[in-house]
Structure 1
Amino acid sequence: MSSVSKADFEKALSVGRPPNVVKLFPNSRALIVSGKAVDRAMLAKGKAMTIAANGRSRLVIRGALLAAQKANAAIIIEIAKSEGGASAYCAVNYWNIALLVDQLMNELGITVPVAVHADHYGIKGDKDVTKAQVEIPTMFEAGLTSIAIDASHLPDDKNLLASIALNPLVPKWAGLETEVGEIKGKEGMSTPDEALFLIRGLNANGIFPDWIALNNGTAHGIQTSEQGIQVDLTKSIHDALAPYNVSGAQHGTSGNNSDRLREIASLTNTTKANVATALQMISWGVEVDDYGNAALDADGNFKKLAGAGVSDELWAEMLAYAADKGWKGGNFKSLNLPFENKILSQPLAVRQRMAQAVEDFVYNLLANVFNATDTAPLAVEALLRAGTYDLGPKATRIEEPAQWTPAAIEQKAKSVVGNKGPAGNFDD
């Protein structure tokens, strides 16, 4: 499939950008769209998923956008609450990521559709629900076009009830992701029963998510187990959810090799695949294997590639800072915030090689693993066919609302078959 024609691109710019984006960037040439448009493009191609690149730094976002343009693919740029919320470890956050994406798309001449997603907006209790009622509107005011309401830390009934309570804060046109089962590797994996409980309850309340995320055996950050993504489990849950037309969101792809990710794309209903830690490491110049895991030397330290990523001097400074803080392994992610400005002050050649490394990695995923090539025109077609930025829901209500009242939800939850696994902090 060829690239989007100039005429169709102009039409998509006029009708496909959500109102918050138009208001913020009235003169922009960036086709920032709802997450729904990206999901629909993957479904239209079939057996395809796209990257949801966690933009922990400006250079990661830059590289991911360039890769999408090269692959002619619709993509998602996202940041999670732990990465970019009110208490964040990255300089990129919920309130500036759309601004960065828009600026970079205009600078680089990016013409593929891009959604800007708030990943893992975590809800762990009533206080978080109260705070969310203030925060979520501000995030859409700042240009986000998609969100994951993640109350998976809570018991099944509380997860569902929190998701219902917060839904009015999400614009109807926006991409919506829900989650069942914390992402914690082989512990507490999701079950079809848990997923059906959540999706049926949402359906009864007129809520139709575009994606559902599962704990299907993978982990955030650096994978420390051979478990990885369980393709059969994922397929069984997606098959059970088929009547509700919800796509899969695959979290924690780092730690899974290309063959397994191809299986997720080809054998399940997954259209969104999150990549975070691998992109961070690649931009810094750390060696990364086909699993997306950072390579370690004999002493268990990250292996920095010669002539790649940040300068050797800055890398030494980052290592010293981490050592002083007692940070190891996955905790290196906390280097993002204190070192973003130092990275941006590196010479142009260094910044270019950092973004280029991300571009190369993401392009390979899009073109050779995820089957996302040439999905940009499919997203544009969906917008032009609808004549609006609002593509509406994929599903219709098939559950009886009277059977899913708060009291009924609490009662039904008692019979849900699942295993939450051990307690702990499993934020992205």
Structure 2
Amino acid sequence: MTALSSDFVKALEVGRPPNVAKLFPNSKALLVSGKVIDRAMNAKGHALALAANGRNHFVIRGVLAAAQRANAAVLIEIAKSEGGQKAYCPVNYWNMARQVDAVANELGITIPVAIHADHYGIKGEGDVKSAKVEIPSMFDAGITSIAIDASHLPDEENLLANLELNSVIPAWAGLETEVGEIKGKEGLSTVPEALFLIRGLNAHDIFPDWIALNNGTTHGIEASDAGIQVELTAEIHEAIKAYGVNGAQHGTSGNSYERLRQIAQNTRTTKANVATALQFISWGLEVNEYGNANLDANGNFIKVKGEGMSEELWAEMVAFADSKGWKKGDYKNLNLQFENKLLAQTKEVRERMCKRVEDFAYNLITNVFNSADTAPLAIEAIVKAGSYDLGPKGKRIENPAEWTKEQLPKQAKGLSRDKGPEGNFED
């Protein structure tokens, strides 16, 4: 399939959601609903879409180049902590679609790309109130998919937050929900918790494309090889299979490729988030084969000479981090501080930053996630539907009368209110 194929032209005409078409009326970039990406992975079978957290401009460029090379449908995303109102990244909820559209047109990218607002965190009623204003502003700026993450709350409040916010999310948009905050082995998700959330949404005619679980992984630098629990994930996915929900795998950085392949083969996961690894790789840090940063004998990051940013700029970044007393996990805060200096480097340096991301992402797509050649499947789904709105995968099974607000305590009976330790696990 080429950029000039009749199917691509048709998909470009009908497959871009209204907000995207309004923002970019003359664009040749195929920005689509997250539903389209999910359907393409299901059509191929045992395939994970790369959902790349575009913490900097180089990650966006590198991932789009890799996806084009692999003929794969992908998502570019940013989390609330990374790109919300208190962002530590220059890429945010309001400029991400604009960056992706510009790069896609510049590079001649012809694969479908969803623009995903990841981990839109809700920690209380105040967040729900502000979200009703903020979420529409994000869709106005080109977001095509969103993850409502109220997993920090007790199960009843998580469900209620998802129900209340559904009115400000377009029906055509990709939708992810979450149960069990992502924090490693603490507060692991259970079958009853996942069923409670999905059944409650189903009763109100809400059919998420994905559910994210705490299945043993963490965000950021993977500190051990405990990692993702494949059997737990498969068990939960099987329990909710009738509701048409697929899995979203968070925190893949540092997990072994064999474990990620098992997630693709043995669970109903169709979306895999990659953030920290892509950041490190774009910078030019030494990483292991899974993208986890290697440290020297003194516990410091290792900069590979002649790769990523210039050695001079890296030294400046390290000195800045040291002046702030930052630990290794705090280096993510350098993204916002140094983006302009990174963009001001020579063309050769900027291109090698992108190329390093491209090669890593291409390997993930083709050799680990099994999502190569999913772009035609995504385009086929759009053409078949004749629309940007593919509709829900699920249908209502539950009785709404059994899932009123008054009935929720009864439905939630027996669920644990222990969500694991307190702390910042949003990235």
Q: Which runs of 5+ in 1 are unaligned?
A: none
Matched, 1:401 2:400: yes
CA deviations over 1:313-335 (Å, ceiling 9, x no partner)? 00000000100111111210000
| Cα shift at 1:306 | 1.2
User: What's the counterpart of residue 262 of structure 1?
Assistant: 261
CA deviations over 1:133-155 (Å, ceiling 9, x no partner)? 10000000000000000000000
User: What's the counterpart of residue 344 of structure 2?
Assistant: 345
User: What's the counterpart of residue 154 of structure 1?
Assistant: 153
Secondary structure in structure 2 of the residue aligned to 1:177 = strand
User: What's the counterpart of residue 64 of structure 2?
Assistant: 65
Matched, 1:82 2:75: no
Taking the TM superposition and a 5 Å limit, the aligned residue runs for 1:47-196 are: 47-196=46-195
User: What's the counterpart of residue 304 of structure 1?
Assistant: 303
CA deviations over 1:194-226 (Å, ceiling 9, x no partner)? 100000000001100000000000000001132
Secondary structure in structure 2 of the residue aligned to 1:377 = helix
TM-score relative to the length of structure 2 = 0.99
CA deviations over 1:275-307 (Å, ceiling 9, x no partner)? 000000000001111232100000000011111
Matched, 1:43 2:42: yes
Q: Distance in 2 between matches of 1:289 and 1:207?
A: 41
CA deviations over 1:70-128 (Å, ceiling 9, x no partner)? 00000000000000000000011000000000000000000000000000000000110
Number of residue pairs matched by the alignment = 427
For the 8 Å contact 1:3–1:72, the answer to whether it is kept is: no
TM-score relative to the length of structure 1 = 0.98
Secondary structure in structure 1 of the residue aligned to 2:315 = helix
Q: Distance in 2 between matches of 1:339 and 1:180?
A: 34
Amino acid at match of 1:44: A
| Cα shift at 1:419 | 4.3
Secondary structure in structure 2 of the residue aligned to 1:79 = strand
Q: Distance in 2 between matches of 1:380 and 1:151?
A: 32
For the 8 Å contact 1:32–1:113, the answer to whether it is kept is: yes
CA deviations over 1:251-279 (Å, ceiling 9, x no partner)? 00012011111111111100000000000
For the 8 Å contact 2:179–2:211, the answer to whether it is kept is: yes
Change (3 A) 1:3 1:288: farther
Q: Distance in 2 between matches of 1:274 and 1:56?
A: 12
CA deviations over 1:314-370 (Å, ceiling 9, x no partner)? 000000010011111121000000000000001000000000000000000000000
User: What's the counterpart of residue 330 of structure 1?
Assistant: 329
| Cα shift at 1:50 | 1.1
Taking the TM superposition and a 5 Å limit, the aligned residue runs for 1:365-404 are: 365-404=364-403
For the 8 Å contact 1:196–1:240, the answer to whether it is kept is: yes
CA deviations over 1:25-59 (Å, ceiling 9, x no partner)? 00000000000000000000000011100000111
Secondary structure in structure 2 of the residue aligned to 1:77 = strand
Amino acid at match of 1:354: M
**Where has structure 1 moved over 6 Å in runs of 4 or more?**
none
Q: Higher mean Cα deviation, 49-58 or 410-419?
A: 410-419
CA deviations over 1:206-253 (Å, ceiling 9, x no partner)? 100000000000000001132100000100000101111101000000
Amino acid at match of 1:89: Y
For the 8 Å contact 1:30–1:110, the answer to whether it is kept is: yes
Q: Distance in 2 between matches of 1:318 and 1:47?
A: 40
| Cα shift at 1:178 | 0.1
Q: Distance in 2 between matches of 1:229 and 1:162?
A: 27
Q: Which runs of 5+ in 2 are unaligned?
A: none
Secondary structure in structure 2 of the residue aligned to 1:118 = strand
For the 8 Å contact 2:155–2:417, the answer to whether it is kept is: no
Root-mean-square deviation (CA), in Å? Answer: 1.0
For the 8 Å contact 2:154–2:417, the answer to whether it is kept is: no
Secondary structure in structure 2 of the residue aligned to 1:357 = helix
User: What's the counterpart of residue 211 of structure 1?
Assistant: 210
Q: Higher mean Cα deviation, 309-318 or 406-415?
A: 406-415
Q: Distance in 1 between matches of 2:290 and 2:183?
A: 17
Amino acid at match of 1:113: P
Q: Distance in 2 between matches of 1:418 and 1:378?
A: 41
Q: Distance in 2 between matches of 1:410 and 1:105?
A: 48
Seq. identity, %: 68
For the 8 Å contact 1:4–1:376, the answer to whether it is kept is: no
For the 8 Å contact 2:281–2:291, the answer to whether it is kept is: no
